[in-house]
Copies of this chain bind each other. A is one copy, B any other.
């Protein structure tokens, strides 16, 4: 009865950099759909982050419908009180894919943080549902979430604004619209504040699949990884707010479709190497 039973392991998690193609190509959305083994999947679209939920939902309804979804649900939670609404919880329960739209990530965490809806989403994920998020929906997946800070003002102590995200993926901090808005310095500052976390800078129309200890890049755009684990120096702890941050020996990788990264070994994986690693969800489905 319960559809979740057919997924014995945690589902795929996809983070998208924003502005993904929704036209006939729809490279990334197609890939998101392909990640569930359900033939005609139900997609639940959460538009909580957006200030124009009707328009955003309509765009995804059309795109996912064209790509073969059986149903595209409008999970339009606008206020914290609605995050325990039985109708919305039921929609989450029914979704094979939960897609979190862009907008303001602070709206997302403020309205959904610690809610029954988030608990339901986590449970669906634990039982194999795909969780995908774009822009704010991607940024909020980190344990610590970047929510602000003008790119041209960053690398000044305190310029990058961080708060607690949903923690759907460990060990990384996700930023979006990365190349388009020149956010390299944001993730350099983030890395200086705590070198343990890998910065994942998603370009527009680019995505990553978090697959156990492996990151797989896909889509037409770029994924820039900012590895601060080998930094040799920084003045960040010596500064007052607003002072210029130095940080030395940050390693960056610009990945394109087909490349990946090993979070455990901290190194780029070529398409050949990636093919040799069987994706976790495939194992789960076999």
| Chain A interfacial positions (CB closer than 8 Å to B) | 151-152, 154-155, 179-185, 188, 220-222, 224, 232-233, 235, 244-257, 259, 268, 270
Contacts and interface: CB of A to CB of B under 8 A. Distances in A.
Contacts of A249: 251, 253, 268
A117 to B, nearest CB: 34
15 contacts: A151-B179, A152-B182, A154-B179, A182-B184, A182-B185, A188-B254, A221-B244, A222-B244, A222-B246, A244-B256, A246-B254, A246-B255, A248-B268, A250-B254, A251-B252
Nearest to A268: B248
Number of copies: 2
A184 B203 CA distance: 13
B233 A268 contact: yes
A100 B208 CA distance: 45
Contacts of A252: 184, 188, 250-252
B179 A181 contact: no
Contacts of A222: 155, 185, 244, 246
Contacts of A244: 220-222, 256-257
A185 B259 CA distance: 18
B251 A245 contact: no
Contacts of A179: 151-152, 154-155, 182, 185
Contacts of A184: 182, 184-185, 252
A221 B153 CA distance: 10
Contact of A246 (B152, B185, B259): B259
Looking at A180, A221, A222, A245, the one whose CB has the most chain B CB atoms below 10 A away is A222
B250 A245 contact: no
A232 B268 contact: yes
Nearest to A217: B246
Contacts of A254: 155, 185, 188, 245-248, 250
B257 A248 contact: no
Q: Which of A154, A181, A246, A249 has the most CB of B within 10 A?
A: A246
Best-surrounded residue of A181, A184, A232, A250 (most CB of chain B within 10 A): A184
Contacts of A248: 253-255, 268
Contact of A253 (B221, B224, B247): B247
Contacts of A246: 222, 253-256, 259
A154 B179 CA distance: 8
A48 to B, nearest CB: 27
